[in-house]
C-alpha cells in the first residue's frame, strides 16, 4: 500500500507542494476540474518519470505494489484503435482446479503477511539499533566532547562535525588504542605546549654563580679587630682609649703639618709622627687593603648577580610561554636584594671602623632557592625543546593518549552499548535469515501458481463478463468479441459490423471503464492475474449520462466493499472525482456500514493557480443541502438557534411536499388526540413565523427550552406519519426511539 506521497514543482503544485498522508485502503479525493487530480493519477502511474523528480512516494513496509491507473490517458491508450488488449482471468477451470489455486493464493497471502510481520519486526529491531547508536552518539558528544572541547579540541579534529562522527572515532579508539594511560593534568600541560601554534625552541635561563660571594662572606677579615702595633709607646694610650680608628683618620692631617688636627696647636713633632706611623705598621696596612678589596669585590659581584636576576625576572614576566614560577622568583629576588643591602651596610661600617668585628648574613639559602627555580624552569624548557625537535611524533602520541584517557573514562558506557548492540545485531541477523527463507518460499509458491494458471487462464471470461454488464445495463446495440488478432477485443454492432469509429464518447468511456474493472481483477498475461495491485481511478464518469453514472457508481462501490473487506488482490483504491453526485454515491454507506476500516477523504482546491489539499479524515466533506439541514438540527446546541425555525420548515416542506397544499392539516390530523394536535399546530405556526423574521423575543428570553420542546414535536411528526426510519437515518440513530 501507499502510505504517503508528495507532489512538488509539477503542474499546479508549487515548490511548497502538498503531502498526502494517512492513506487507507479506500481514499476519496474531491476537486473541481483543473484542481490537480490528473497530476496525481499521472504521477502514481509513472513515479519514475523525470518530470516528477521533485515528487516522492512511500510504500508500506517499503514494498511497492503494481499501480493500475484509470484516467483520460488510459482511455486513449486502450481504445485508440477501437480495440482492447485481452485480459486473462481463470477460464475453463474445474471447481477442483480453482480450489487448488485459491488455496495456493491463500498460502501466498499468508506467506506475504508472515513476511510483512517479519519485516516489521526487523524494521523495529533496526530502528532500536539506530536509536541505540544515536543515544550513544548524543551522550558521548554531551559527556565527553563538550567536557573536553576547550582542552583537547585539536585532538578531536576530524570527528567534530557531529555526534555520530565523534561516536565512530570513540569506538574505533576504544578497540585499537593501547597507549599508556596518562593523568588528565599531564595531558592538559602537554596540550598547552603542542596544540595551537607550532611551538618554537626556548633558550635556557642563564644559571647564576654565587660561590665567590659565599667565599667572601666567610673571610675571617670581617671578624678581625684591625689595630696598630702594640709595642710603640703611644700604643698603650690608643688601645686604652680604643681610639685607633679615630687616630687613623687623623693621620692624613699631620703628614705635612705640625699643627694638631684636634687642638690646632703646634704640638706635632717629628718624633710623634714617627710613633704614629710605627703604630700603623705594614700588617695594619695589609689588613686594611684586604678589607677594602674584599668589600669592593663583594659589592660588585652581588650587584652584577642582582642585575642579572632582575633581567631574568623581566624577560620571564613578558614571555607568554615561560616555564618559570615567576611569582616565587620575584619574591626570592626581593628578599635577596634586601639581604645584599644589609650586608653592604655592614661592610661600610667595617671599612669605617676596622677595629669592629662584623658577621655578614649568608646569601646561600636565597641563592639556592633562586637556583632551584631556574633549574626547574630549565628542565621544563628541555622537555619543551624535546617536543619541538620531535613535534610530529609528540603530537601524534599526545592525541593517542587523550583518546586513550577518554575511552577509559567512558569504558562502562561503551561496554554496555556494545553488549546491547551485539544482542540487537544477532536478532537482526536471525530475522534476515528468516525473511530470506520466506522470500524463497514466496517465490517458489508464486511460480507454482503461475504454472497452475497457464493451462486454465483465458480472455473469454472477460469478454463474457463485459457483455453481461452491457446487456444488464441496457447497452444492447453492441458487444465485445475477440479480435482477429489474437489477444485483443473489438466492438461489434448488432449487424455484425465492427464499431471502430461510430461509438459515442459516453459509450467509449463506459466500455473502457468496464475493461478497466476486468483488468483490475485479471491481468494482461497469464503470469500477472494473481498480482496484488492498487487502483487509482480518476473521474470514471466523464461524458456519461445519469443512468450510466449510477451503474459506474454501483460497480465502484462493489470494488470498495471488497477492498475494505480484504477480498481479492486489490489492496488499495484512490478515487478522484469532480462530480458531487458520483462522490456521494460511492461514499454512501448507510446506517450499517460494511466490514473493514472507513475511508479517508480529501478535498483539492486551486487558488491563484496553486493546488492545495485539505484533509478531512473519515468525515465526508461532500453533502447535499438536505443533509446539511439535518446536520443543523443534530448540532443545534452548537449554534445560536436563531435559524432553527427556518431549518425545520424547510425539512418538513421538502420531505412532505407530496402532501400538497394541505400538508399542514394532514400532518396535524395524524396526531391521535386534541392535545397533541394543538402541539403540532403550535410547532407549524412557530416554524412558519420564525422562518422569515428573527425571533428576537424568543432568542433573548430562553430559546433552548422552547427549541427542545418543538424538536420533540418535530420528531413525533415522523413517528405518526410512519416515517420514523427516515428520521433515525438522518439523525444517525440506529434504533427507533419513541
Torsion sign across C-alpha atoms 730, 735, 737, 738: positive
pTM for this model (two decimals):
0.47
State the residue for C-alpha cell 601554534: 197
What is the length of the chain?
738
pLDDT top residue among 255 and 386:
386
Cα separation, 632 vs 635, whole angstroms:
5
State the residue for C-alpha cell 610530529: 392
What's the pLDDT band for 52 if we cut at 50, 70, 90? very high
Q: Report pLDDT digits (tens) over 182-200.
A: 999 999 988 887 886 776 7
What's the pLDDT band for 693 if we cut at 50, 70, 90? very low
Q: Find, among 144, 123, 143, the residue nearest to 61 by Cα.
A: 123
Per-residue pLDDT, 698: 39
What's the pLDDT band for 523 if we cut at 50, 70, 90? low
pLDDT top residue among 437 and 528:
437
Per-residue pLDDT, 650: 79
What's the pLDDT band for 692 if we cut at 50, 70, 90? very low
- Mean residue pLDDT of the chain comes to 79
Cα separation, 355 vs 344, whole angstroms:
17
Q: Report pLDDT digits (tens) over 413-461.
A: 999 999 999 999 999 999 888 888 888 887 887 777 666 655 555 556 6
Q: Is the pLDDT of residue 322 over 90?
A: no
pLDDT top residue among 672 and 534:
534
Q: Report pLDDT digits (tens) over 121-159.
A: 888 899 999 999 999 999 999 999 899 888 888 888 888
Task: Calculate mean pLDDT across residues 715-727.
Answer: 85
Vertex 565: Cα angle to 560 and 570 (nearest 5)? 60
Greatest Cα pair distance in the chain: 184
Tell me what percent of the residues of the chain surpass a pLDDT of 70: 75
- Beta-sheet pairing, 89-90 with 83-85: unpaired
State the residue for C-alpha cell 661592610: 347
What's the pLDDT band for 670 if we cut at 50, 70, 90? confident
3-state secondary structure 101-122: HHHHHHHHHHHHHHHHHHHHHH
Q: What is the DSSP letter of 88?
A: B
Per-residue pLDDT, 275: 55
Per-residue pLDDT, 376: 92
Amino acid at each position: 500500500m501507499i502510505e504517503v506521497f508528495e507532489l512538488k514543482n509539477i503542474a499546479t503544485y508549487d515548490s511548497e507542494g502538498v503531502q498526502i498522508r494517512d492513506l487507507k485502503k479506500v481514499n476519496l479525493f474531491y476537486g473541481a476540474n483543473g484542481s490537480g487530480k490528473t497530476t496525481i493519477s499521472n504521477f502514481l502511474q509513472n513515479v519514475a518519470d523525470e518530470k516528477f523528480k521533485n515528487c516522492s512516494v512511500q510504500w508500506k513496509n517499503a514494498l511497492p505494489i503494481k499501480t493500475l491507473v484509470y484516467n483520460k490517458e488510459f482511455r486513449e491508450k486502450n481504445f485508440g484503435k477501437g480495440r482492447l488488449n485481452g485480459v486473462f482471468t481463470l477460464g475453463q477451470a474445474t471447481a477442483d482446479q480453482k480450489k487448488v489455486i485459491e488455496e495456493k493464493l491463500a498460502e501466498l497471502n499468508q506467506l506475504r503477511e508472515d513476511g510483512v510481520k517479519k519485516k516489521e519486526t526487523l524494521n523495529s529491531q533496526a530502528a532500536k539499533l539506530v536509536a541505540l547508536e544515536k543515544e550513544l552518539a548524543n551522550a558521548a558528544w554531551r559527556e565527553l566532547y563538550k567536557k573536553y572541547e576547550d582542552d583537547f579540541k585539536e585532538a578531536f579534529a576530524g570527528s567534530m562535525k557531529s555526534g555520530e562522527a565523534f561516536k565512530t572515532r570513540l569506538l574505533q579508539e576504544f578497540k585499537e588504542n593501547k597507549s599508556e594511560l596518562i593523568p588528565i593534568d599531564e595531558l592538559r600541560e602537554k596540550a598547552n605546549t603542542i596544540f595551537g601554534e607550532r611551538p618554537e625552541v626556548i633558550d635556557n635561563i642563564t644559571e647564576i654563580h654565587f660561590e665567590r660571594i659565599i667565599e667572601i662572606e666567610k673571610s675571617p677579615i670581617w671578624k678581625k679587630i684591625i689595630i696598630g702595633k702594640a709595642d710603640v709607646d703611644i700604643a698603650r694610650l690608643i688601645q686604652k682609649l680604643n681610639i685607633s680608628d679615630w687616630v687613623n683618620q687623623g693621620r692624613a692631617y699631620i703628614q705635612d703639618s705640625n699643627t694638631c688636627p684636634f687642638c690646632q696647636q703646634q704640638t706635632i713633632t717629628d718624633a710623634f709622627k714617627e710613633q704614629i706611623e710605627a703604630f700603623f705598621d705594614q700588617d695594619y696596612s695589609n689588613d686594611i687593603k684586604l678589607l677594602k678589596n674584599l668589600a669592593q669585590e663583594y659589592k660588585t659581584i652581588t650587584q652584577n648577580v642582582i642585575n642579572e636576576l632582575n633581567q631574568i625576572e623581566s624577560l620571564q614576566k613578558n614571555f607568554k610561554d615561560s616555564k618559570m614560577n615567576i611569582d616565587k622568583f620575584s619574591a626570592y629576588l626581593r628578599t635577596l636584594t634586601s639581604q645584599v643591602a644589609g650586608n653592604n651596610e655592614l661592610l661600610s661600617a667595617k671599612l669605617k671602623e676596622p677595629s669592629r668585628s662584623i658577621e655578614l648574613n649568608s646569601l646561600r639559602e636565597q641563592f639556592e632557592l633562586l637556583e632551584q627555580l631556574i633549574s626547574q624552569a630549565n628542565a621544563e624548557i628541555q622537555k619543551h625543546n624535546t617536543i619541538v625537535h620531535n613535534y610530529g611524533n609528540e603530537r601524534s602520541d599526545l592525541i593517542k593518549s587523550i583518546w586513550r584517557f577518554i575511552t577509559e573514562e567512558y569504558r562502562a558506557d561503551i561496554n554496555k552499548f556494545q553488549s546491547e548492540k551485539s544482542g540487537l545485531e544477532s536478532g537482526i541477523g536471525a530475522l534476515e535469515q528468516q525473511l530470506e527463507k520466506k522470500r524463497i518460499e514466496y517465490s517458489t509458491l508464486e511460480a507454482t501458481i503461475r504454472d497452475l494458471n497457464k493451462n486454465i487462464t483465458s480472455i473469454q471470461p472477460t469478454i463474457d463478463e463485459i457483455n453481461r454488464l452491457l446487456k444488464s445495463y441496457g447497452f444492447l446495440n453492441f458487444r465485445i468479441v475477440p479480435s482477429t488478432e489474437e489477444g485483443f477485443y473489438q466492438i461489434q454492432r448488432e449487424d455484425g459490423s465492427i464499431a471502430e469509429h461510430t461509438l459515442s464518447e459516453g459509450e467509449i468511456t463506459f466500455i473502457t471503464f468496464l475493461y478497466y474493472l476486468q483488468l483490475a481483477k485479471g491481468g494482461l498475461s497469464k503470469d500477472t492475474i494473481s498480482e496484488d495491485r492498487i487502483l487509482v481511478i480518476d473521474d470514471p464518469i466523464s461524458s456519461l449520462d445519469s443512468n450510466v453514472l449510477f451503474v459506474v457508481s454501483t460497480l465502484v462501490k462493489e470494488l470498495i466493499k471488497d477492498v475494505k473487506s480484504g477480498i481479492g488482490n486489490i489492496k488499495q483504491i484512490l478515487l478522484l472525482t469532480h462530480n458531487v453526485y458520483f462522490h456521494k454515491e460511492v461514499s454512501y454507506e448507510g446506517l450499517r456500514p460494511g466490514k473493514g476500516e472507513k475511508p479517508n477523504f480529501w478535498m483539492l482546491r486551486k487558488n491563484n493557480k496553486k493546488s492545495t489539499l485539505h484533509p478531512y479524515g473519515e468525515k465526508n466533506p461532500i453533502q447535499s443541502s438536505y443533509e446539511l439541514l439535518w446536520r443543523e438540527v443534530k448540532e443545534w446546541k452548537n449554534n445560536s438557534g436563531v435559524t432553527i425555525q427556518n431549518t425545520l420548515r424547510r425539512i418538513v416542506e421538502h420531505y412532505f411536499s407530496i402532501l400538497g397544499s394541505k400538508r399542514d392539516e394532514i400532518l396535524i390530523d395524524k396526531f391521535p388526540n386534541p392535545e397533541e394536535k394543538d402541539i403540532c399546530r403550535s410547532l407549524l405556526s412557530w416554524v412558519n413565523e420564525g422562518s422569515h423574521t428573527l425571533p428576537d423575543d424568543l432568542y433573548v428570553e430562553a430559546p433552548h427550552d422552547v427549541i427542545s420542546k418543538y424538536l420533540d414535536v418535530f420528531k413525533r411528526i415522523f413517528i405518526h406519519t410512519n416515517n420514523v426510519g427516515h428520521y433515525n437515518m438522518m439523525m444517525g440513530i440506529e434504533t427507533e426511539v419513541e
